[in-house]
Amino acid sequence: MAWPQNTREFVVNAGGKTSTNLTGETLAWDLPKTGILYYIMLIITGALTGTPSTPSAVGKARLLTRVRCMANAGINVIDFSGEGYHFLLRDFIDIGGDPVPGSDGRAAVASGAFDLSMFIPIAINARDPLGLINLQNPDTQLRLEVEMNPVRLANDFTAFTCTVTPYLGMFRMPLAKEDRPKFDFIHTMQEEQTGLTTGVEFVFNWLRGNTYLSVVHGATCASTPHDSLVTAALRVNQNDYIRPALPPAFYSGEYARGHGRARVLGVIPFDLIGLSGLENYGSLRDLLNTANLTDIQSVLVPDHTVTLYSMKRQLVYIGEPAK
């Protein structure tokens, strides 16, 4: 396949939109039907006016209720909250650096300017074609939504403005059919939230059928984060432990080895794609195809009542659609 020699990267500005609604609003874009999509960069900036009396402890990222990219086939390619992205996905993209170092999404809620920008990988990395989406397919339509609500930060801000501008990283479609990549997998990033009870073991079931790149858990996700899980284990088929019940100190060491910096407290990653040492550019050795497993579970023990955030990254086989 001569795919790399017969394409060219380019960027599309999808156009900025602004919200000033203090009670919340959803901004939406229908993505253009041209080219091959491989990333979405959201520049999200604005300002808050007023002095919050009881600000959310989570931080500024909580402004974003949900970010979604939906395919017409009913697949949510991306579906996560602001805190889900900034605590559980941001540090696990490409080679594991911070793609938005200027963002203050993890900072404490305060009046004034904010930057909640996001870099979202549609392909698993900038080199390999896994996850690329053919926007030129007549049967494919993608819709991007950014839902926000300042009340999630505090209920006494007096003014608010937020502008979101999506930039789409694209590849040109090769003219010859034999030079085109396959479009048989979609790379999904989806977040769940659930409540944990002090000292009660919680079993988080990974839904079976797809191939997992990672599941990253977070408790407590906050502007002043701390570890709320005493131990975390990864178990398959009831009694085979990929990770036995290990304390946060182990996950700090494992994260530092691959990233060269300290783990954000509260974040417990089962980063399967990163285990070969090059984050998303490594081998596919440790990915888990769950189709033939009886079950796969995270087994977590919290030290107090807390909200558990869980970010799942999967490769979903869809077959190769018509080109």
Q: Identify the CATH number of the domain in which residue 273 sits.
A: 2.60.120.20
Please give the share of the chain, as a percent, with pLDDT higher than 90. 84
Q: Are residues 214 and 123 part of one domain? A: no
Strands 185-196 and 76-80: parallel
- Global model pTM greater than 0.85: yes
Can you give the length of the chain in residues? 323
Rounded mean pLDDT of the chain?
94
Q: Hey, how many other C-beta atoms are within 10 angstroms of the C-beta on 294?
A: 10
Two structure tokens written together for 301: 């023990």
Out of 163, 182, 201, pick the residue that ends a domain: 182
Q: Are residues 37 and 20 part of one domain? A: yes
Out of 165, 182, 199, pick the residue that ends a domain: 182
Is residue 77 scored above 60 in pLDDT? yes
Q: Are residues 106 and 175 part of one domain? A: yes
Two structure tokens written together for 16: 């900025």
Q: Are residues 298 and 264 part of one domain? A: yes
In a domain, 152, yes or no: yes
279, with CB counted inside 10 A (0-12, 13-18, 19+), is buried
- Tell me which amino acid residue 226 is: H
Q: With cut-offs at 50, 70 and 90, classify the pLDDT of residue 213.
A: very high
- Tell me which amino acid residue 120 is: I
Is residue 211 scored above 80 in pLDDT? yes
Cβ contact 233:244 at 8 Å: yes
Q: Residue 284: name the closest of 251, 315, 263, 307 by CA.
A: 315
Q: With cut-offs at 50, 70 and 90, classify the pLDDT of residue 321.
A: low
Which residues on neighbouring strands pair with residue 310, listed in sequence order? Answer: 192, 217
Is residue 73 scored above 80 in pLDDT? no
**Domain count within the chain:** 2
Q: Are residues 196 and 110 part of one domain? A: no
**Low-confidence winner among 150-154, 161-165, 283-287, 299-303 (lowest mean pLDDT):** 283-287
Two structure tokens written together for 17: 């939109």
Q: Are residues 154 and 296 part of one domain? A: no
Is residue 268 scored above 90 in pLDDT? yes
Q: With cut-offs at 50, 70 and 90, classify the pLDDT of residue 279.
A: confident
Out of 143, 158, 182, pick the residue that ends a domain: 182
Please give the share of the chain, as a percent, with pLDDT higher than 70. 98
**Low-confidence winner among 59-68, 79-88, 235-244 (lowest mean pLDDT):** 235-244
Dist. CA 184–CA 318, nearest whole Å: 5
Q: Are residues 210 and 108 part of one domain? A: no
Cβ contact 202:306 at 8 Å: no
Query: What is the per-residue pLDDT for 320?
Result: 60
Per DSSP, the three-state class of 279 is helix
Query: What is the per-residue pLDDT for 278?
Result: 82
Q: Are residues 302 and 225 part of one domain? A: yes
In a domain, 91, yes or no: yes
Per DSSP, the three-state class of 169 is strand
Question: Domain limits at 122?
Answer: 4-182
pLDDT (mean) for 239-259:
95
Q: Are residues 170 and 33 part of one domain? A: yes
In a domain, 322, yes or no: no
